[in-house]
Amino acid sequence: MKPRSYGPFPYSPVIDRPRIEWPNGAHVALWVIPNIEYFSLLERPGGYGGGGKIPDVVMWSERDYGNRVGVFRIMETLDRYDIRATVALNSNVCAEHPQIIAEGEKRGWEWMGHNESNTRRLNEAAPGEEANIIRRTLDTIGKATGRRPAGWLSSGLQQTWDTLDLLAAEGVEYQGDWCNDDQPYVMTLDAGRSIVAMPYTMQLNDKAAIERRLLPAAGFCQMICDQFDVLYREGAESGRVMAIALHPYLIGVPHCIGALDKALRYINKRKKVWKATGCEIARHYRAQQATGASVKKKPAKKSR
pLDDT means over runs of 10, the chain (304 residues): 90 96 98 96 69 82 96 98 98 98 98 95 94 98 98 96 97 98 96 96 96 96 98 98 98 98 98 98 95 56 49
pLDDT computed for residue 300 by the predictor = 46
What type of residue sits at position 157?
A: L
Q: Helices (H) and strands (E) in the chain — how many of each? A: 10, 9
What is the 8-class DSSP label of residue 10? -
Cα within 13 Å of Cα(219), Cβ side: 11
Task: Report the C-alpha gap between 207 and 22 in whole angstroms.
Answer: 29
Q: What values do phi and psi take at 148, rounded to 5?
A: -70, 135
Which residue type sits at 298? K
Distance of alpha carbon 271 from the chain centroid:
23
Domains of the chain: 23-291 (3.20.20.370)
pLDDT at 53: 81
pLDDT value at position 117? Answer: 95
| Total Cβ atoms within 10 A of residue 287 | 11
Q: Tell me, what's the pLDDT at 238? A: 98
Distance from the Cα of residue 42 to its chain's centroid: 27
- Please name the amino acid found at residue 257: I
Q: Contact 45/59 with Cβ under 8 angstroms? A: yes
